[in-house]
Amino acid sequence: MESRFRVLFLIIAMISLSGCAATKNLFGFGNEEAPPPTAEGPGQVIDPEVERREIKEPKIDREDFEIGAFVGIMSVEDFGTDVSYGVRLAYHLTEGFFVEGTAGYTEAGLTSFEELSGDARLISDSERELYYYNLNVGYNILPGEIFLGEGRAYNTNLYLIAGLGSTDFAGDDRFTVNVGAGYRLLLTDSIALHLDFRDHMFDIDVIGEEKTVHNLEGHLGLTVFF
Amino acid sequence: MSARNTTTTPSTLQQTKSVIAACLCAVVLQIVLAAPLQAADEYRTVTIADPYIEMRTGPGRGYPIFYVVDRGDSIEILMQRTDWYQVRAANGKEGWVNREQLERTLQADGQSVSFKVATIEDFTNAKWEIGALAGDFDGANIVSIYGSYSLNPNVAVELWGSQILGNFSDGYMASINVVHETWPEWRVSPFFTLGAGVIHTNPKSTIVEAPDRTDDIGHVGAGFRIYATRRFLLRAEYKSYVVFTSRDDNEEIEEWKVGFAFFF
């Protein structure tokens, strides 16, 4: 008898519990609850494991820097004209603006006074070596293309630069302002040919009174973008 | 006799020279050969989502559009220069596309392409910065370069190298300083700085012969970092230096500078 009551009570309890569970689901209260653990755990038919497609994108090669060397002629006011050499590093900010650092070397000759007077020397031979560096801002003012025959076109740029630096000449470092213009011809997308004209201005007092001298330089350079 | 002469071993100097020459050749060859090797790399491929994409002959707005790639076609991105990307179409045509157009293409996984562009947030949070400034150093001209490392958005450590070019003397100065930015997220961000270093002074050769000297310096200063565009910023600052000379009095020097810098 007792066991019968027990079974009956269990049945009632189960029905009421399942009813509660159904009602809960019906009113949408049970959504947050974890699903009841399955006792037997039938073997799953579908395995939902999907591997995410991993795509490794190759990096894009950035070529905003430009490095190169140049050879030209530089006229040192009162001291004649000689061959100049130098290096250049540029960073292109936008299609218009770039910043540039240049360093160069030339050797100054004799002044007319020194040539006429025979042995008199205003400065020593080692002081005649002229080294300069400049930090410039540049702007590509006239971008364009040139055409060689029918099938060839090269991109070009006419740019202006201006900047500050120092020139080591005649025994002292001299504050130097330089301005100039250049023409960049891109032989390939990464190699460029430059033709530059610059005016290096600094104050000097080697020949009597202090004066501002203009030292003109023209050079031809080759640069590589990287 | 003559045969024996030709087989003499080269001197060590010649050997060293040839070794150096060989090394130089190897370096030059590597540089020359590096470009074609890189060209064999894999490129990023994107699919056009817009009705079409315009290819120009050069990396600039003025260059003519010479080719158009249609929607659904893919292109390879060969390289980037400023805001322009050199791309190659399936038929081998190569041209330049600007960033705005290229951002409306799809990657291989179907997501739209996005390129990392430096913004004002990077201006606040970037770790490294290099720049160049010029100005007035107690009547002399000064040209400086600096490198900076940010410990956090507010505090940075800077290393400076300057060349001083005056009428009576020229010289060099090196200093290390700590910079504090109170509002680093502002477009025009004020800062305060404190530092120490050394100054080497070299009197002009045309005036009375005076010995070179090296002194310690300490400085305080203030200024502004101004975000311009991309990775580019402008900087203006004032510093007050004390030069600890070996004479009775210390020298005080005021400095004003402006310039530009990049962060990365």
* Other C-beta atoms lying within 10 Å of the C-beta of residue B159: 15
Shared domain check, B224 and B178? yes
- The number of domains in chain A is 1
**Host H or E run for residue A142:** strand A129-148
Backbone angles phi, psi at A3, to 5 degrees: -70, -35
* Residue A32 covered by a domain: no
Query: Is B262 touching A (CB cutoff 8 A)?
Result: yes
pLDDT tens profile B51-81: 888 999 999 888 999 999 988 888 888 889 9
Who contacts A123 (Cβ-Cβ below 8 Å, separation ≥6)? A170, A171, A206
The b-or-e profile of B242-252 (16+ CB within 10 A means b, else e) is bbeeeeeeeee
The sign of the CA dihedral B11, B12, B18, B22 is: positive
The fraction of chain B above a pLDDT of 70, given in percent, is 83
Do B99 and B173 belong together in one domain? no
Classify residue B19: in a domain, yes or no: no
Identify whether B30 is part of a domain. Answer: no
> Does residue B258 share a domain with residue B139?
yes
Residues on chain A touching B134 (C-beta within 8 angstroms)? 135, 164
Element (H, E) at A132: strand A129-148
The CATH number of the domain holding residue A124 is 2.40.160.20
Confidence grade of residue B168 (pLDDT, cut at 50, 70, 90): confident
Containing structural domain, residue A146? 65-225
Element (H, E) at A13: helix A2-26
CB contacts, 8 Å: B95 with chain A: none
Q: Is residue A96 part of a domain?
A: yes
Q: Are A103 and A87 in contact (CB under 8 A)?
A: yes
- The residue type at B58: G
Residue B132 lies in a domain: yes
Kindly state whether residue A199 falls inside one of the protein's structural domains.
Answer: yes
* Residue B49 CB coordination number (10 Å): 15
CATH number of the domain that B133 lies in? 2.40.160.20
Q: Mean pLDDT for chain B?
A: 83
Token couple for A217: 């330089």
Say how many domains are in chain B: 2
Least Cα separation, residue B229 to chain A (angstroms)? 9
> DSSP labels for A165-213?
EEEEETTEEEEEEEEEEEEEEESSSSEEEEEEEEEEEEEE-SSSS-EEE
- Does A26 touch chain B if contact means CB atoms closer than 8 Å? no
Checking if the pLDDT of A57 tops 80, the result is no
**Nearest Cα residue in chain A from B134:** A164
Q: What is the three-state SS of A18-75?
A: HHHHHHHHHCCCHHHCCCCCCCCCCCCCCCCCCCCCCCCCCCCEECCEEEEEEEEEEE
- Is residue B231 packed enough to be buried (19+ CB in 10 Å), middle (13-18) or exposed (0-12)? buried
CB contact (8 A) between residue B38 and residue A61 = yes
- ipTM associated with this complex: 0.75
Task: Give A155's contacts in chain B (Cβ within 8 Å).
Answer: 57-59, 63
Q: How far is B170 from chain A (nearest CA, A)?
A: 7
CB B229, CB B83: distance < 8 Å: no
Quick check: is B126 in a domain? yes
Q: B9 pLDDT band (50/70/90 cuts)?
A: very low
Q: B168 with B236, same domain?
A: yes
User: Residues A203, A212: contact at Cβ < 8 Å?
Assistant: yes
A153 touches chain B (CB under 8 A): yes
CB pairs < 8 Å spanning A and B: 102
**Average pLDDT in chain A:** 83
Range of the domain at B195: 121-263
Report how far residue B225's alpha carbon sits from residue B183's, in angstroms, rounded to the nearest whole number: 11
Give me the sign of the Cα torsion angle A12, A13, A16, A19. Answer: negative
B140 located within any domain: yes
A155 to B44: CB separation less than 8 angstroms, yes or no: no
CB A95 within 8 A of CB B61: yes
- Sequence-separated (6 or more) residues with CB below 8 Å from residue B161: B144, B145, B146, B172, B173, B174
Q: What is the CA radius of gyration of chain B?
A: 28
Please indicate, yes or no, whether residues B233 and B198 belong to a single structural domain of this protein. yes
In a domain, A31, yes or no: no
pTM over 0.80: no
| A158 in Cβ contact with A138 (< 8 Å) | no
Is residue B5 one of the residues assigned to a domain? no
Domain assignment present for A21:
no
Task: Name residues 90-149 of chain B within 8 A of A (Cβ).
Answer: 107-109, 115, 132, 134, 140-141, 143, 145
pLDDT 10s digits, A4-53: 667 767 776 666 555 544 444 444 444 544 555 555 555 667 776 766 66
Bridge-based pairing of strands B74-81 and A61-62 is parallel
Contact (Cβ atoms closer than 8 angstroms) between residue B78 and residue B96: no
Co-location of B95 and B149 in the same domain: no
Quote the CA–CA distance of A139 and A157 in Å, as a whole number. Answer: 10
Please check whether residues B125 and B182 belong to one and the same domain. Answer: yes
DSSP state of B13: H
Q: What is the pLDDT of residue B10?
A: 47
Handedness of CA B66, B71, B77, B80 (dihedral sign): positive
Whole-Å CA distances, A85 to A47, A61, A82: 71, 30, 10
Please judge whether B57 and A172 are an interchain contact, meaning their C-beta atoms are less than 8 angstroms apart.
no
On whether residue B21 sits in a domain, the answer given is no
Does residue B160 carry a pLDDT above 90? Answer: yes
Across A42-46, B17-21, B37-41, least confident range = B37-41
Note whether residue A142 is domain-resident. Answer: yes
Distances (CA, A) of B146 to A104, B77, B143, B200: 22, 35, 10, 18
Q: Residue A224 and residue A106: Cα distance in Å, rounded?
A: 23
The verdict on residue B3 lying in a domain is no
Instruction: Specify whether B163 is located in the same domain as B192.
Output: yes
Residues B101 and B130 reside in one and the same domain: no
Buried b vs exposed e over A72-98: b needs ≥16 C-beta within 10 Å?
Answer: bebbbbbbbebebebbbebebbbbbbb
Q: For residues A58 and A131, which has the higher predicted lDDT (pLDDT)?
A: A131
Together in a domain, B125 and B80: no
Residues of B whose CB is below 8 A from A166: 143, 163, 165
B56 strand-pairing partners: B65, B96
Pair B178, B232 in one domain: yes
Report the pLDDT averaged over residues A137-160.
91
Same domain, B141 and B239: yes
DSSP annotation string for B138-201:
TTEEEEEEEEEEESSSSEEEEEEEEEEE-SSEEEEEEEEEEEEES-TTSSEEEEEEEEEEEEEE
Bridge partners (DSSP) of residue B140 are B137
Which of A57, A61, A135 is opposite residue B79, by nearest beta carbon? A61
For the stretch B112-131, pLDDT in tens is 777 777 888 888 888 999 99
A56 versus B180: the higher-pLDDT residue is: B180
